[in-house]
Chains A and B, each alone.
Chain A
Amino acid sequence: MRYKDTGEVHMDFHLATNETIEYVLTEYGQDFLKELFRRTAQNVYLDIYNGLRKGDSQKLLEHWSYYYTREKGDYIITEGLNEVCFHVTECPVVRHLKENKIPVNRAFYLQMELMNNAWSEDTPFNIETSVLSEGEYTMTIRRTPNDSQ
């Protein structure tokens, strides 16, 4: 993994992320937010993005597994013929915001959708984000039909 943090976790950073998303949406709109997450997905997580472009989704799955585990989230991974589903049954961010009595930002799930869309851009994958309930969602990495890899 290109980034693999260890040691203590400062969960309050999620409060700042929540505030930041609200600020960016209000002040600059959704296109600006989209560009922010495009840069994050493709430039910061360059290693993951390069893997996806080459048809390898393993680095993204490893990243999700490591950090949802590190933040004590719960998830189930199921693999199908042409897809892998990362089903988050308890999101650590939503849990932390609720523990601090802070409303989950209106764009919290949009953030994940924008990240996943940016990760799948110009790759042989589509990453579908589906919200099932507060703090529960799926992110399904699916090979696009015209991809022969």
Chain B
Amino acid sequence: MIPSDHFVRMYNELFKMLEEKGHSHLQNYWRRIASLQKTILGPYIEKDGLQGMYDYWEHIRIEENCDANLEITDDFFEFRMNKCPSLSKALDNDAGAFEYYCDHCAGWVKPVVEEYGYHYSSDIISRTLPVCVMRIYKDRKKAEEYNQTHTLPAKPY
């Protein structure tokens, strides 16, 4: 088996192979995983909206050993990653990290939250430091305003 802890390093290789075939191949794969993600994250959003997102990512913070802070306001849910275990593993990897590794996260999450009428905004900040900020807004305009503040906006599609 591929240990669950090592799925990250396996799909990091898949990202490289799909990118070699063309970026649309990578995007199609992200969409496929987004569909799976919807079956897991979707019920949380359907039940409790932003609070549901908070509950889901709090569970992720614990299970994936993330050093992260979560916040919820009237406008948005924020997941602030202080040390991302996923990028950390991709970097600590004898095969080397895929150049656009971080983009997959938005690629998997953005389509799901948008299906529920929310607006995704994420600042990757750096491709070599395991920090980032993701916000999911109720209001499109506020998400777009927040996008303007980003160092490295995530644009998976």
Cβ contact within 8 Å between B4 and A13: yes
User: Does B63 reach chain A (CB closer than 8 Å)?
Assistant: yes
Cβ contact within 8 Å between B10 and A71: no
Cβ contact within 8 Å between B29 and A44: no
What's the nearest-Cβ distance from chain A to residue B106, in Å? 16
Per DSSP, chain B at the interface is helix
Q: How large is the interface on A (under 10, 10 to 19, 20 to 34, 35 or more residues)?
A: 35 or more
Of B12, B64, B92, the contact of A10 (CB 8 Å cutoff): B64
Of A17, A24, A68, the contact of B2 (CB 8 Å cutoff): A17
Question: Please, how many residues of chain B have a CB less than 8 angstroms from a CB on the other chain?
Answer: 32
Cβ contact within 8 Å between B4 and A23: no
Cβ contact within 8 Å between B95 and A39: yes
Interface residues of B in 33-60 (CB under 8 A from A): 33, 36, 40, 60
Known: A8-B63, A8-B64. A19 touches B36 (CB 8 A): yes
Residue of A with least CB distance to B29: A23
User: Does A11 reach chain B (CB closer than 8 Å)?
Assistant: yes
User: Does B116 reach chain A (CB closer than 8 Å)?
Assistant: no
Cβ contact within 8 Å between B13 and A40: yes
User: Does B119 reach chain A (CB closer than 8 Å)?
Assistant: no
User: Does B157 reach chain A (CB closer than 8 Å)?
Assistant: no
Inter-chain CB contacts under 8 Å: number: 101
Cβ contact within 8 Å between A39 and B5: no
What's the nearest-Cβ distance from chain A to residue B1, in Å? 5
User: Does B152 reach chain A (CB closer than 8 Å)?
Assistant: no
User: Does A16 reach chain B (CB closer than 8 Å)?
Assistant: yes
User: Does B129 reach chain A (CB closer than 8 Å)?
Assistant: no
**Interchain CA distance A43-B98 in the complex, whole Å:** 13
Cβ contact within 8 Å between B5 and A35: no
Cβ contact within 8 Å between A9 and B94: no
**Interchain CA distance A16-B2 in the complex, whole Å:** 11
Sample of 6 more A-B contacts, CB < 8 Å, known A13-B8, A43-B95, A47-B94: A8-B63, A8-B65, A16-B7, A17-B7, A23-B29, A32-B17
Residues of A within 8 A of B (CB): 2-3, 5, 7-17, 19-20, 23-24, 27, 32, 35-36, 39-40, 43-47, 67-68, 70-71, 91-93, 111-112, 115
